[in-house]
Amino acid sequence: MIKHRLQIFFLLLIITFSGFSQKKSKLSGFIRDAANSEPLIGAIIYSQNNDHYAVSDVYGHYTLHNKNHKTLTLNISFTGYKTQTITINVLSDTILNFNLVPGIEIEEVLVKGNVPIENSVNMSMHTLPLKELKQLPALGEADIIKVMQLMPGIQGGAEGRSGLYVRGGSPDQNLIMLDGTSMYYVNHYGNFLSLFHPEIISNLQLYKGAFPARYGGRMSSVIDLRMRQGNNKQHKKSIGIGLLSADLLIEGPIKKDTTSYIFSFRRFYLDALIRPITYLSSGGFSAGYKFFDLYGKISHVFSPETRFFVSIYIGEDAISSKVNQWNDNTFNGSHKNLWGNIMAATRLNTKLSNNVLADFALAYTSYKVCSADEYRVDSINFKNHIKSQVHDLTIKSDFKYSPLKNIEILIGAGGILHRFNPAITSNYISMADSVIVDKLDNTNFQADFESYTYIENTLSILNFVNLNLGMRYSNYFTGNTWYNKFEPRLMGAIGNKKTGAIKISYAQVMQSLHLLSNQNIGTPSDVWLPVTASIPPAISTQWILAYAKTFFSKYEFSVEAYKKQMVGLITYKEGVSFFSNDDINWQNKIEKNGKGETKGIEFYVRKNEGNTTGWIAYTWAKSQRLFENINGGKPFPFTYDRQHDLNIIINHNFNSKYNLSATWNYGSGYPITLETGYYKTYDVNWEPQDFDLTQTNPFIIDSKVALYSPKNSVRFKNYHRLDIAFQINGKTKKGRNKIWTFNIYNLFNNKNPAYYYYDWLDPKDKSKGITLWQQSGIPIMPSVTYRISW
Amino acid sequence: MTNLKIIGLLLVVISGCTIPVEIETPQPEQKPVIICFFTPTEPFVLHLTHSANQTDTTTNIIDNALVTLSTNEDFYTQLPHQSNGYYTDTTIYPKSGIMYNLTVEIPGLPTLSASDSIPAAVSTFSFIKYTEKRWFTEGSEYSGLTFEIDENPGTNYYEILYRVSYHHPFYDELTPQFKIGHFRTIGLADDDIIWQSLFTNTLFAGKKITIELADNNIEYFRSMDSLNYTVQILQESPSLYKYRHTLIKHLDAQYADFWEPIEPVIMYTNIDNGYGIFAGYQSQITPIIFPE
């Protein structure tokens, strides 16, 4: 049956290749920012003569086909830039680059800065304008992941966090790529901030489903972030200062118009506040938390059609404590938790012919978690280190072939060499000059190989039917076990501007990596683990039915219904946490072969044009999990299942100087498991009053056994929060650009639940009994940031 | 991890607050609870209560039940209620190797029932030697006490504890305590088969086994006056072992908090139509005599 389906599918792909031999002319080139030559991703070049258009890709490249016209009148547009209109003669294949000037768009222009949603086969996809993102309210500073949480179908988990739960999926099911390279660790401690500094990101696209075949390896979402390439015309600097962090960005040409650089460094300095407080309050003990993010990119233009990029990211979180001469002056020690990513990628992007664009990449990424204790008592030195690491080496190539008007074929392949060291431990003890213990354990590593190939074909028929047909073949080799899967990807849209478009999608994805994580706080306990011979990959299947239409030429409306089924999920066993040392083998800590089902309906209205922009997103959703040994083998709601979720976002530019924005979020409560009853039972009588050596019974009725509600059957109270931000743009006396941003988080000071627990209503008067208490989340919280650039 | 919690907690304390809250919670099914561990050296004692709602602080004892014990060999008796939900007959002692059947009839409720037996005692449990302090690889010093078990054939389930009492020089009083020590098996490929205080004989069934208690408090105890130091081994029925195993995990999970959430552990029970446990065990105690 599967073979038969594959045959039909490949037939469809082949059919779409027909007619390649037709002769026509073609216009191609790059669309860039005139000020700094940054590529503009998603810009539109529109032919007024034949109502055809093309969209620039992640390198700013476009290809526009022309069949009958010798002269073309073109509009080149992009949101936030002035539209260019030119008329040219096209007698043969022509290369033409465009540089757009930033500015307000002219209202009369026929084609706006985005592809009309009726003409796009894409669904379940969002592109977030970075400029608008930076103007939205934030807790401290703007964060890309938190803005994504305002989109339909996406939950953020606990309040104030950068968690990402897309259509009932868990965080490890999100493929988050920076310049095409996947990142393991994407949120700093506590999930209050993500790694991605908005100042260095040029573009991001979020797919919640309907994944094109070029993406794979994760089941719930794809987030494709691209770093800026740097200004290749003049040197620029930018400094941002907030209450808890500061950042510096520099960019400029190494060789004008040819080679550019951009570097950004961000430092979180909570430790500077906490260390003095802990030191003064304890007399010798100090603790603190800090992180840094360092981004860099160098871009070189060999020719107008060949470019080379080197991207790096280095980031590290650190929680550390020190004790100096504790109490009796004989104890000195330190404890550190370090964790972070390193990413380095090189990429060559070139045109092999007029029809074929190629992209070759070689990338390295690693993720590590370390815990280090070092202390000294008298003349004895102790050192204990634990380290968990993942290293990936990726090589891949992608080819884009544009043989015909409205047909684009992507073909690619890649391989990833994974190396896992789940827990390397080292112990060292010395007394005076003699070494007592010097051990290094668990140095064995697991090396796995992952590979894929794909073909993807985007085509448009009579400007009324748009298709994206693809197939991905994924492999994963671990030890002597080989997992492989054909993953069909189908997207189709029927309709036009008048009727609106009905869209459908079907996608299967195999995921070969699992994350064992503390879902609440995103601590350095996140451990990425591969599939094994006994733990197979997870596989998801998602169906989407959607309708999209633009109303009054300004308001994009879409409604999407989806259903996603997942198999091969894992979770912790009952009573097990990452920190428990009951069993060294992590495979014994997990429940496997879990199933998940999520379904929902998402409504989305967006206004992109004019002084007032924003969107309204409403989601109804239901997400469940099923494990044989959890909840008695009965299905239970996913931890971040939110049935109703409403987001309203408004952003208003009064003029070029003042901007006001607000976001309001309302959601039904997340599910929790709550103690509902108890009884008392025997436990060891740890402190017997009457000690009798001959007494054989060590037990006494003392311990309290809790009776729980069925798993996740209780709901938190509903959630709502209003945030506002006011931004003032101006110039300093030296003529530098400055931006003041004033934020108020949770303006209504609503007490949203963080967790519940039982305790005495009045500890001084226990006759009032026990009641349920709520620990509330973040109350009203003002903050201010200042940015200067020149 | 402690540092993480401190800083995390600080963030919440700075920014959060607590309020009483009312939400709809499902009411647990009220069921009778039977707690009865039995061993040959003590008469049957059964404790009978109702489970309670989370906010209920009163003890829901059941004093009107008909508690019956029987075996397959013409043994039949009833345990009368004494006080506070305890049912016992001080003349009836359980014996090893016999399957006891329990039925509890409570007016208006389905009959509760359970069955279990006492395993045979190990033939040898003896203290072998004391070892001067050494170093753990984790960085702390310990002293060792070595024991030997010559066990019975079949699958056996053990729990091992030590108990200590001494006169504290400052408080001048006895400070008796039961302890879970760092017990480990010696001479087996896997010396980590003892989890908390519990282990089975899967790796050494039917053979002698040497166990070492590695304890960094021994030197401290030895410096105290009137030291009484004993080690106790319990040979438990499979039901009791499972109950104890689950209870330790259950209690650990109860102490989990927002910063280190653990999936709650549902307690094991061998009582039909109720909660709790009816299970047997053997106990042997060996005193430790430290060299002068």
Query: Which whole number is the average pLDDT over A722-728?
Result: 93
Q: How confident is the model at residue A111 (pLDDT cuts 50, 70, 90)?
A: very low
Between chain A and chain B, how many beta carbons pairs sit less than 8 Å apart?
A: 246
Whether the per-residue pLDDT at A29 is higher than 50: the answer is yes
Whether the per-residue pLDDT at A371 is higher than 90: the answer is no
Low-confidence ranges of chain B (pLDDT < 70): 1-16, 135-140, 171-182, 184-195, 203, 205-206, 256-262
Cβ-defined contact of A698 to B49 (cutoff 8 Å): no
Amino acid at A485: K
**Class of residue A718 by CB neighbours under 10 A (exposed 0-12, middle 13-18, buried 19+):** middle
- How many C-beta atoms surround the C-beta of residue A774 within 10 A? 22
> Chain A residue closest to B288 (CA)?
A693
CB contacts under 8 A, B 91-120 vs A, are none
Query: Which whole number is the average pLDDT over A156-169?
Result: 77
User: Tens digit of pLDDT for each residue in A73-109?
Assistant: 888 888 777 888 888 887 777 778 888 887 654 443 3
Query: A329: Cβ–Cβ under 8 A, 6 or more apart, which residues?
Result: none
Cβ-defined contact of A777 to B252 (cutoff 8 Å): no
Q: How confident is the model at residue A376 (pLDDT cuts 50, 70, 90)?
A: confident
SS3 A563: strand
- A176 to chain B, minimum CA–CA distance in Å? 25
Query: Which whole number is the average pLDDT over A649-655?
Result: 91
Chain A residues near residue B6 by CB distance under 8 angstroms: 287
Q: How confident is the model at residue A170 (pLDDT cuts 50, 70, 90)?
A: confident
Secondary structure letter of residue B27 according to DSSP:
P
What stretches of chain B adopt beta strand conformation (E)?
Answer: 18-20, 32-38, 45-50, 52-53, 66-71, 76-79, 81-83, 86-88, 100-105, 112-116, 124-135, 141-150, 157-167, 177-179, 182-186, 198-200, 208-215, 225-236, 275-287
Q: Which of A379-393, A502-516, A689-703 has the lowest mean pLDDT?
A: A689-703
- A385 to chain B, minimum CA–CA distance in Å? 10
> Residue A647's Cα: distance from chain center in Å?
19
Residues across chain A: 790
Q: What percent of chain A has pLDDT over 70?
A: 88
Chain B residues near residue A704 by CB distance under 8 angstroms: 254
Whether the per-residue pLDDT at A396 is higher than 90: the answer is yes
Chain A residues near residue B20 by CB distance under 8 angstroms: 761, 771-774
Tokens of A244: 């808890």
Query: What pLDDT score does A17 carry?
Result: 46
**Class of residue B226 by CB neighbours under 10 A (exposed 0-12, middle 13-18, buried 19+):** exposed
**Class of residue A97 by CB neighbours under 10 A (exposed 0-12, middle 13-18, buried 19+):** middle
In Å, how far are A104, A715, B12 from B261, measured between CA atoms?
A: 50, 17, 16
Q: What CA–CA distance (Å, rounded) separates A491 from A468?
A: 5
Query: A34: Cβ–Cβ under 8 A, 6 or more apart, which residues?
Result: A99, A100, A101, A102
Secondary structure letter of residue A718 according to DSSP:
P
**CA proximity to A315, closest of A332, A339, A336:** A339
Cβ-defined contact of A287 to B3 (cutoff 8 Å): yes
What value of ipTM does the predicted structure carry? 0.86
Core vs surface per residue A400-433: b (16+ CB within 10 A) or e = bbbbbbebbbbbbebebebebbbebbbbbbbeee
Q: By the CB < 8 Å criterion, does B8 face chain A?
A: yes
Cβ-defined contact of A769 to B57 (cutoff 8 Å): yes
Name beta bridge partners: A199: none
Chain B residues near residue A683 by CB distance under 8 angstroms: 247, 251
Which of A696, A699, A745, A778 would best serve as a mutation to test chain B binding (most B beta carbons within 10 A)?
A696
Query: What pLDDT score does A692 carry?
Result: 63
Chain B residues near residue A779 by CB distance under 8 angstroms: 15-17
SS3 A234: coil
Q: By the CB < 8 Å criterion, does A385 face chain B?
A: no
SS3 A215: coil
Query: What pLDDT score does B127 carry?
Result: 81
Which of B34, B173, B178 would best serve as a mutation to test chain A binding (most A beta carbons within 10 A)?
B178
Phi and psi dihedrals of A103, rounded to 5?
160, 180
Q: What CA–CA distance (Å, rounded) separates A32 from A22?
A: 31
CB contacts under 8 A, A 626-685 vs B, are 630, 632, 673-685
Query: What pLDDT score does A328 carry?
Result: 56
Whether the per-residue pLDDT at A112 is higher than 60: the answer is no
In Å, how far are A500, A515, A603, A618, B123 from A558, measured between CA atoms?
A: 9, 33, 6, 11, 77
Cβ-defined contact of B228 to A691 (cutoff 8 Å): yes
Query: What pLDDT score does B140 carry?
Result: 67
Option in A437, A582, A772 nearest B137 (CB): A437
Cβ-defined contact of A190 to B250 (cutoff 8 Å): no
Helix ranges (DSSP H) in B127-237: 218-222
Tokens of A229: 């390439």
Considering Cα of B234, then B237, then B243, then B249, what sign does the dihedral take?
A: positive
Query: Which whole number is the average pLDDT over A315-319?
Result: 88
Cβ pair A263, A247 in contact under 8 A: no
Whether the per-residue pLDDT at A22 is higher than 50: the answer is no
Sheet arrangement for strand A125-127: A125-127, A201-207, A221-227, A174-178, A181-182
Query: B73: Cβ–Cβ under 8 A, 6 or more apart, which residues?
Result: B98
Q: What percent of chain A has pLDDT over 90?
A: 32
Q: By the CB < 8 Å criterion, does B22 face chain A?
A: yes
Whether the per-residue pLDDT at A1 is higher than 70: the answer is no
Q: What CA–CA distance (Å, rounded) separates A710 from A635?
A: 10
- A144 to chain B, minimum CA–CA distance in Å? 22
Query: What pLDDT score does A521 carry?
Result: 43
SS3 A451: strand
Whether the per-residue pLDDT at A583 is higher than 60: the answer is no
Query: Which whole number is the average pLDDT over A743-755?
Result: 87
Considering Cα of A628, then A630, then A636, then A638, what sign does the dihedral take?
A: negative
Bridge pairing between strands A25-33 and A98-100: parallel
Option in B6, B28, B258 nearest A287 (CB): B6
What stretches of A378-499 adopt beta strand conformation (E)?
Answer: 380-404, 407-431, 434-441, 446-461, 465-478, 481-496
Helix ranges (DSSP H) in chain B: 2-15, 218-222, 238-255
Query: What pLDDT score does A207 carry?
Result: 93
Query: Which whole number is the average pLDDT over A283-294?
Result: 84
3-state secondary structure A152-190: CCEECCCCCCCCCEECCCCHHHEEEEECCEECCCCECHH
Q: How confident is the model at residue A16 (pLDDT cuts 50, 70, 90)?
A: very low
Q: By the CB < 8 Å criterion, does B83 face chain A?
A: no
Q: How confident is the model at residue A123 (pLDDT cuts 50, 70, 90)?
A: confident
Query: Which whole number is the average pLDDT over A730-738?
Result: 90
3-state secondary structure A511-557: ECEEEECCCCCCCCCCEEEECCCCCCCEEEEEEEEEEEEEECCCEEE
3-state secondary structure A632-645: HHCCEECCCCCCEE
Cβ-defined contact of B262 to A572 (cutoff 8 Å): yes
Option in B15, B28, B256 nearest A707 (CB): B28
Query: What pLDDT score does A468 carry?
Result: 92
Option in A373, A520, A751 nearest B261 (CB): A520
Chain B residues near residue A755 by CB distance under 8 angstroms: 258
The rounded mean pLDDT for chain A is 83
Q: By the CB < 8 Å criterion, does A475 face chain B?
A: no
Q: How confident is the model at residue A143 (pLDDT cuts 50, 70, 90)?
A: confident
Question: DSSP states of A312-358 as a string?
Answer: EEEEEEEEEEEE-S-TTT-EEEEEEEEEEEEEEEEEEEEESSSSEEE
Query: What pLDDT score does A14 carry?
Result: 46
